[in-house]
A and B are shown apart, each in its own frame.
Chain A
Amino acid sequence: MSIIKKLALVIVSLSLVAVSSVSSAKPFSPKKPIELIIPAGQGGGADEIARLVQGVIEKNDYASKPVIPINKKGGSGGEAMTYVKKKAGDEHTLIITLNNVLTTPVNQPELGIDFFNDFTPLARLITDTFLVWIATEGKNTQGVETFDDFIALAKGNGLVMGGTGSMSEDELLLGMMRGQFGFDAKYVPYDGGGAVAKGLVGGESDFTLNNPSEQMGFYQSGDSKALVMMTPERNPAFPEVPSSYELGYPDLEYYMMRAFMAPAGVDAEVEKYYTGLLHTVYHDDEFQTFNIDDGKLMSWLEGFGLKDFLAIEYAKHGEIIKNFD
């Protein structure tokens, strides 16, 4: 055999191997425990959903390997995102998103995170929205019955707003409202949504932009009331609270997304597996009931729809941040 023949044989056999490996590719299944990175501390909204997903998977044996949630709360999600970026190609790492995945890459360019190329978006399960809350007995907000009353009051007086920390969703929202309604407020950051809700009822702040579950307890006891919900429609968990569209402020629309992403560079099979797993979780009765009762919006999105959504949200957040400085 000549060298050329030998070479040709090698090439042919190699390509055969390649073809056969493609055609007989087995569907992916995890070979070791799946790390679920949470870019926030224990006990927050993202943590809650991550542990619910873990519980639902474990209880029903939806996955062959356990899911291990790991909190990396440093640097507004920067630590978690850096970690996942380094795990490019890793088939056993997932990250649950807060909106800080949209803001931190812009706010902290030194981390070198490229939102569109460092992650593989899998699916969005839930969107959560925000409401404008005041305390029923608030000393500076007496007589405020509607959102318009509130805007009129807020314009003249420097009200105090409690929030969950700088550059978090609610401070961005305050920036957005400042542009739309022309009022400003003194922003005081707290540790998490629960503390924000308590600060309002305790009389330290005049209003807050909590999401539904954070104020649920005080709302049910009548200590706090909501003026507007930042969505096109009313929410069954808060039947008497008008939507921003009803009030004629369609620009006042904001969502917090609970989506899952894998690191960049994972195979299509891996992507398919995890998307399927999340889909099973999404349709689990317990998962549905819990989220609906908690005032969340079930909003499955995957594939190109998800990519479009992320691109729009990323641009929108970039715009809000730009107006901030």
Chain B
Amino acid sequence: MDVFILLLEGIFVSFEPLNLGLLVFGCLIGLFVGAMPGLGSVNGVAILIPITFIIPPTAAIIFLAAVYYGAMYGGAISSVMLGIPGASTAVATVFDGRPLAVKGEAMTALTAAAVGSFVGGTVSVILFTLFAPPLAEVALRFNAPETFALMVMAFATFVGLGGDDVPKTIFSILIGLALSTIGLDLITGKPRLIFFNIPGFLHGINFLVLAIGIYGIGEMLWTLEETKGKVQMSKLSVNMKEVGRAFGALKKTIMAMNIGSFLGFFVGILPAAGATPASLMSYGITKQLSKNSKEFGSGVPAGVVAPECANNSASTGSMLPMLTLGIPGSPTTAILLGGMILWGLTPGPLLFTQEPEFVWGLIGSLYIANFFTLVLNIALIPAFLMVLRIPFAILAPVIFVLCVTGGYAPTQSLHDVWLMLLFGFAGYILRKLDYPVAPAVLSIVLGPLAEKALRQSLILSDGSMGIFFDMAEKPIAAIIMYIAIVLLIMPAFGPLYKKFFKKAQTT
């Protein structure tokens, strides 16, 4: 019962005028930061940190958490409307959000994104409220072998992601993995694959550069070819019938909401993973488990709900290790953590008891921020839809400019802009040749995480792969690993199984 009293106090704290004002302001900034390609919550929060020195810590964290939160919603907007992922966390939203918009169902996509985000955010903040201390214990026990097992599971779901053409999918995964090895060797600290000694390669291939290139530039070229510069969707209307249809479509996304909320939260509380892998994994698993998994990628609401639900859920989840263990659960919380230290707080197991106003003020504000962003997003949908009435000949240069700034923003290096353009062109060609590009994008995110966890585990086990299958010593890793293997071979046996099953029925 204690928890509820504390939570109530927290909600009161976030209703104080300064805190509430900053919350609303933070959500708005977050929406903008999320929707602007390349900016994203990491940069947004980093830019705003110095401002927070002049306000009390509780107000500061409420403000920055609202920015973080708003960015999770905002990312979906440009993903759906322009086909450019607004932030790395919204890349998976492009997969189905964009096709929905192209079909003339942008309304459905945006509604699904907003409601999905709300559900994910709410479920996770409730989990957070009720189970924070025991979950911190889980995060503490989740080490290198467990992380690698989880990554294998994620990759297993990707194989089913590219459609029926498994060889082309694997090719795409391998391209992504190869690109992800450029930069710094994670273990020896030496640079590797620095082509022509260009210093820009030292920081590796930023995942957003690939995603913006493939989806932003590639999509722009593709749409230009299709529409010849005319208006994309002329018969777009916003009326009650449309609204009803949009909400009706949500009925089919219950499973995606469940997967997104719980998986997102779980991945979020694991150190160093964060909302981007969570959204991608949620998409992959939802697709794998869905009855109509073949339709994913051609515009189904569940394909929007799954990643959007997961990224909000994960962003809340990633605050748990930040507060209780002092380790970041995502790149954005890494910056928030730095902020907390600068405000004079010591993150760690004692924070909940030493600074209850701060912790519960933050948790309380998440409930309110969630509600507020939902209302804001639904209210703004008509405004967002106006974008689609603009002739593509005008929109294309705008998208191009946004892509270039988006490629430049994360690392502030022109090298990445050239890379982005190169990927855009390559993405367009791959699409012409009917190669799935989503698996490549996924592997460049998870590749470094998987590599690091694998190599850490192998150092610990003196090179034995047995560390991943040791039921006695590392049960969590072993169980995840076995599930991953089943997931990996399931698509291969699926058709056989069906054939056999049908035969058995007819005879």
Contact = CB atoms under 8 A, between A and B. Distances in A.
Contacts of A218: 326, 348-349
Contacts of B350: 217, 220-221
Given A74-B204, A76-B184, A188-B460, A43 B351 contact: no
Given A59-B53, A217-B347, A42 B341 contact: no
Given A59-B53, A213-B341, A75 B203 contact: yes
A216 interface: yes
A186 B460 contact: yes
Majority SS of interface residues in chain A? Answer: helix
A187 B338 CA distance: 26
A313 to B, nearest CB: 19
A78 B199 contact: yes
A294 B326 CA distance: 14
Contact of B351 (A42, A78, A186, A217): A217
Contacts of A56: 53
A79 B346 contact: no
Contacts of B328: 43, 192, 194
Contact of A189 (B186, B204, B272, B334): B186
B238 interface: no
A166 B338 CA distance: 23
Contact of A216 (B325, B348, B452): B348
A70 interface: yes
Nearest to A110: B197
Contacts of A75: 183-184, 191, 194, 199, 202-203
A43 B272 CA distance: 12
B344 interface: yes
Interface string B136-151: 0001111110000000
Nearest to B331: A42
Interface in B20-71: 42, 46, 49-50, 53-54
A110 B194 CA distance: 11
Contacts of A65: none
B134 to A, nearest CB: 15
A190 interface: yes
Contacts of A73: 203
A279 to B, nearest CB: 20
A163 to B, nearest CB: 11
Nearest to A76: B189
A225 to B, nearest CB: 14
B191 A78 contact: yes
Nearest to A162: B456
B503 interface: no
B327 interface: yes
Interface string A191-207: 11011011101111000
Nearest to B348: A217
Nearest to B354: A220
Interface in B317-339: 321, 325-328, 331, 334-335, 337-339
B326 to A, nearest CB: 4
Nearest to B413: A72
A56 B201 CA distance: 33
Contacts, number: 161
Interface string A216-237: 1110110100000000000000
B188 interface: yes
B370 to A, nearest CB: 25
Residue of B188, B199, B350, B452 with most chain A CB atoms under a 10 A cut-off: B199
A52 interface: yes
A118 interface: no
A54 interface: yes
B140 A201 contact: yes
Contacts of B335: 42-43, 47
B383 interface: no
A55 interface: yes
Contacts of A165: 186, 189
A192 B271 CA distance: 11
A202 B137 CA distance: 8
Nearest to B326: A217
A58 B50 contact: yes
B346 A220 contact: yes
Interface in B427-463: 452, 456, 459-460
Contacts of B139: 198
Contacts of A293: 344
A56 B53 CA distance: 8
B334 A217 contact: no
B411 interface: yes
B187 interface: yes
B190 interface: yes
Contacts of A221: 348-350
A59 B189 contact: no
A227 to B, nearest CB: 20
A293 B202 CA distance: 35
A31 to B, nearest CB: 20
Interface in A25-52: 41-44, 47-48, 51-52
A255 interface: no
B412 interface: yes
A186 B461 CA distance: 10
B348 A202 contact: no
Contacts of B327: 194-195, 197-198
B342 interface: yes
Contacts of A298: none
In the complex, the 8 A-B pairs of residues with the closest C-beta atoms, listed nearest first: A217-B348, A43-B334, A74-B203, A166-B189, A74-B202, A75-B202, A221-B349, A55-B50
24 contacts: A43-B328, A51-B339, A55-B49, A59-B53, A74-B204, A78-B199, A78-B202, A79-B202, A108-B190, A166-B188, A188-B144, A189-B187, A191-B272, A191-B452, A198-B321, A199-B143, A202-B141, A203-B143, A204-B143, A216-B326, A216-B348, A217-B326, A217-B346, A221-B349
Given A74-B201, A167-B189, 5 more contacts: A54-B50, A76-B184, A79-B203, A165-B189, A198-B271
Interface of B: 42, 46, 49-50, 53-54, 139-144, 183-191, 194, 197, 199-204, 271-272, 321, 325-328, 331, 334-335, 337-339, 341-342, 344, 346-351, 411-413, 452, 456, 459-460
